[in-house]
């Protein structure tokens, strides 16, 4: 189970309505994108900010009214976070977003989803301008870089500078101290960012996933384009494509795991893409399907793919594995021992009759292997004779430097072992990955529009490519995230 940073929601009400209601529900709908911390920032003559650690709480009645009264204003931004940058000893609250950064008279609220590859280099440029006791964290560096630039060059030029000089994945929401809301996306469009509005056009909103719009009764009007900036003032909306790149690189992994199945990504609902993944697996591995008695699925991200596999093959699909809904700790962010016990608590297996059965278990991805291993062992204990693992996301052999927390080679089971060895490692009788070409076709995108670097080792940005080569050489002896190693940038 993986962690990703992060989820965003921002809105402006042109009818003087309180923006907090929209922000709150926009975050609730996207809490799957970050469990570490959450935060709100609104503007009503001055900034009002509330951040805390953990999930966005379910609040109602007087508590909700208190929050609403404090977070006044008709414009605001909100964020849920799962960190892939920042020293682990620091409090999660130190990194909670939206952050506030200032330079001279300029002050901005800042929230972003993604990861900066050259954050160390930017930090070196900013040394002296950063607060001394602040640790290394790409969002602190990014916000400072941006606000300095806005202060000297104005908003649009500052955003363009970020797009040209910051390498990595970034979908950004910002709020200025004059109440202007702004948003932009890196030129490759690695992380999602959607726009929407109310039927009467009096509310304009931005959300990482369309589910944040749906929950607020807003209509999806399109995506912020890669390299595009959007500014929503109290008078109008301005959109400008500042940097146009020859290719795009939307994260392929969003389809398999991160995005909610009811989100609409690049023209398709995620659940329909996942069903197609299942159908593809059924066509590719007919011989294995013929040997099996039943399909099981990893709850809940592999369920749509399992349905597709069932539909394609006619093989019975039993939903024997279920999630304990309120066990919310994400296994991926924990220490290895803790991770296994969390998965153990999270997934329940019902006493379906698996005695002597040959089962196919559909999983969305295998990163470190702990989750799959734990589930395979539960199925084996329940009496299964053969266990074949069908995986929708192709084998992950390379780290991600764009905001998914798998930033070293050595942690990846797919880097250390081939398919047969992986099967042994996780206690299965076979592991079968969906081929990359099938995966890409199912998304409706082309290879030139997707990032698939963790599968192919071909990174869409230059520093990341160099980092991957350097990290591979030092894989065994250095477990730090390479984009946080000063020596990489200092030579």
Residue with Cβ nearer ligand SF4 (361 or 400): 400
Residues 404-423 binding ligand SF4 (CB under 6 A) are: 404
Residue with Cβ nearer ligand SF4 (79 or 191): 191
Taking CB under 6 A as the rule, which mask of x and - marks residues 80-119 in contact with ligand SF4? ----------------------------------------
Q: With left for phi above 0 and alpha for psi between -120 and 50, is residue 215 left, alpha or beta?
A: alpha
Rounded to the nearest whole angstrom, what is the least distance from the CB of residue 460 to ligand SF4 in the complex?
A: 8
Q: Which stretch binds ligand SF4 (CB under 6 A): 78-86, 124-132, 399-407, 477-485?
A: 399-407
Residue with Cβ nearer ligand SF4 (251 or 347): 251
CA 432, distance to chain mean position in Å, is 25
If binding means CB under 6 A, how many residues of this protein chain bind ligand SF4? 11
Q: Which helix (H) or strand (E) holds 113?
A: strand 106-116
Q: What is the dihedral of CA 198, 204, 209, 210, to 10 degrees?
A: 20
Q: How are beta strands 294-297 and 358-363 bridged, if at all?
A: parallel
Q: Does 453 bind ligand SF4 (CB under 6 A)?
A: yes
Q: Which two tokens mark 433?
A: 């990955």
Q: Does 451 bind ligand SF4 (CB under 6 A)?
A: yes
**Rounded Cα gap, residues 460 and 247, in angstroms:** 9
Q: Which two tokens mark 232?
A: 């929503």
CA dist list (Å): 362 to 133, 279, 294, 446: 47, 12, 11, 25
Residue 463 φ then ψ, to 5°: -65, -40
Residue with Cβ nearer ligand SF4 (289 or 445): 445
Taking CB under 6 A as the rule, which mask of x and - marks residues 8-27 in contact with ligand SF4? --------------------
> Is residue 228 a contact partner of residue 242, using CB atoms and an 8 Å limit?
yes
Residue with Cβ nearer ligand SF4 (183 or 251): 251
Rounded to the nearest whole angstrom, what is the least distance from the CB of residue 190 to ligand SF4 in the complex?
A: 5
Q: Which residues contact 330 (CB under 8 A, 6 or more apart)?
A: 1, 2, 3, 35, 82, 342
**Rounded Cα gap, residues 83 and 247, in angstroms:** 27
Q: Does 454 bind ligand SF4 (CB under 6 A)?
A: yes
Q: Does 392 bind ligand SF4 (CB under 6 A)?
A: no
Rounded to the nearest whole angstrom, what is the least distance from the CB of residue 256 to ligand SF4 in the complex?
A: 9
**Rounded Cα gap, residues 255 and 274, in angstroms:** 7
**Rounded Cα gap, residues 311 and 329, in angstroms:** 33
Q: Does 366 bind ligand SF4 (CB under 6 A)?
A: no
Taking CB under 6 A as the rule, which mask of x and - marks residues 234-273 in contact with ligand SF4? -----------------xxx--------------------
Say which of 6, 162, 451, 454 is annotated catalytic.
6
Residue with Cβ nearer ligand SF4 (453 or 482): 453
Residues 182-201 binding ligand SF4 (CB under 6 A) are: 190
Is 6 tagged catalytic?
Answer: yes
Q: Which residues contact 430 (CB under 8 A, 6 or more apart)?
A: 288, 388, 389, 419, 423
Q: Which stretch binds ligand SF4 (CB under 6 A): 97-105, 129-137, 297-305, 451-459?
A: 451-459
Q: Which residue has the tokens 């892939």?
A: 84
Q: How are beta strands 358-363 and 386-391 bridged, if at all?
A: parallel
Radius of gyration of the chain measured on its C-alpha atoms = 23
Q: DSSP secondary-structure letter at 454?
A: H
Rounded to the nearest whole angstrom, what is the least distance from the CB of residue 451 to ligand SF4 in the complex?
A: 3
**Rounded Cα gap, residues 116 and 125, in angstroms:** 15
Rounded to the nearest whole angstrom, what is the least distance from the CB of residue 320 to ligand SF4 in the complex?
A: 29
Residue with Cβ nearer ligand SF4 (41 or 440): 440
Binding interface with ligand SF4 (CB under 6 A): 190, 251-253, 400, 402, 404, 451-454
Give the residue numbers annotated as catalytic, written as ranges.
Answer: 6
């Amino acid at each position: 189970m993986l962690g990703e940073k992060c989820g965003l929601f921002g809105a402006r009400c042109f009818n003087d309505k309180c923006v907090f209601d929209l922000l709150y529900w926009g975050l609730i709908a996207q809490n799957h994108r970050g469990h570490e911390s959450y935060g709100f920032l609104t503007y009503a003559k001055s900034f009002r900010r509330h951040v805390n650690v953990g999930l966005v709480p379910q609040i109602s009645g007087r508590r909700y009214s208190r929050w609403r009264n404090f977070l006044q204003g008709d414009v605001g931004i909100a964020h849920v976070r799962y960190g892939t940058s920042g020293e682990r000893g620091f409090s999660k609250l130190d990194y909670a977003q939206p952050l506030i950064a200032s330079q001279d008279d300029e002050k901005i609220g800042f929230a972003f989803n993604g990861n900066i590859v050259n954050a160390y280099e930017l930090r070196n440029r900013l040394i002296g301008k950063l607060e001394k006791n602040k640790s290394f964290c790409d969002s602190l560096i990014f916000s400072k870089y941006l606000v300095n630039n806005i202060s000297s060059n104005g908003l649009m030029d500052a955003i363009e500078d970020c797009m040209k000089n910051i390498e990595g994945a970034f979908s950004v929401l910002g709020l200025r101290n004059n109440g202007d809301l702004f948003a932009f996306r890196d030129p490759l469009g690695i992380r999602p960012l959607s726009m929407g509005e109310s039927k009467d056009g009096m509310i304009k909103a931005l959300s990482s996933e369309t589910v944040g719009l749906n929950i607020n009764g807003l209509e999806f009007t399109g995506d912020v384009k890669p390299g595009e900036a959007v500014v929503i003032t109290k008078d109008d909306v301005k959109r400008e494509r500042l940097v146009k790149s020859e290719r795009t690189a939307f994260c392929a992994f969003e389809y398999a795991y991160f995005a909610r199945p009811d989100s609409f990504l690049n023209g398709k609902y995620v659940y329909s893409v996942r069903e197609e993944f299942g159908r593809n697996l059924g066509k590719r591995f007919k011989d294995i399907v013929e040997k099996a008695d039943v399909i099981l699925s990893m709850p809940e991200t592999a369920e749509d793919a399992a349905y597709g596999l069932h539909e394609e093959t006619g093989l019975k699909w039993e939903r024997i594995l279920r999630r304990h809904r309120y066990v919310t700790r994400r296994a991926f962010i924990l220490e290895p021992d803790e991770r296994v016990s969390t998965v153990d608590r999270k997934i329940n297996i019902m006493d379906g009759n698996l005695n002597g059965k040959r089962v196919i278990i559909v999983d969305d991805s295998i990163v470190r292997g702990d989750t799959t291993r734990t589930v395979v062992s539960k199925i084996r204990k329940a009496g299964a004779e053969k266990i074949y693992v069908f995986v929708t996301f192709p084998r992950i052999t390379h780290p991600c430097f764009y905001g998914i927390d798998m930033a070293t080679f050595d942690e990846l089971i797919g880097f250390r072992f081939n398919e047969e060895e992986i099967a042994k490692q996780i206690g299965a009788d076979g592991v079968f990955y969906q081929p990359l070409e099938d995966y890409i076709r199912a998304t409706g995108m082309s290879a030139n529009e997707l990032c698939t670097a963790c599968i192919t080792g071909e990174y869409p940005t230059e520093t990341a490519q160099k980092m991957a080569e350097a990290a591979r050489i030092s894989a065994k002896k250095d477990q730090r995230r390479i984009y946080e190693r000063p020596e990489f940038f200092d030579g």
